[in-house]
Amino acid sequence: TENLVDALRTVTGVDICCLIQQEAEATRFSLRARSPAFPVAGIARALGGGGHALAAGARHPKISDEEAGLRLIEQAGKVLEA
């Protein structure tokens, strides 16, 4: 699955991608960026995780896919607009 999120960032026009995975007791976010101009570490930190500018991730207590998507969009907006 890490290969999938890495492959997504090679798609033309994609600056940031995230794979959201449901685990038994957590929701996992794997974030990747094409360039340091779009650092994903801040998004991961806002979701309770961490990482590097181009690759980061977080594990959140289990939430629905819909809620995970909403939190991701909210945090990405806050971090990238700052």
pTM of the model as a whole: 0.87
User: Quick one: pLDDT at residue 1?
Assistant: 62
User: Quick one: pLDDT at residue 23?
Assistant: 94
19 touches 8 (CB < 8 A): yes
Of the two residues 69 and 82, the one the predictor is more confident about is: 69
User: Quick one: pLDDT at residue 10?
Assistant: 80
At 19-60, the pLDDT tens digits run 999 999 999 999 999 889 889 999 999 999 999 999 999 999
pLDDT-derived band at 15, boundaries 50, 70, 90: confident
How far apart (Å, rounded) are the C-alpha atoms in residues 23 and 27? Answer: 6
Sheet with 16-22, edge to edge strand ranges:
16-22, 26-33, 55-61, 50-51
| Tokens 């690759």, residue located | 55
10 touches 23 (CB < 8 A): no
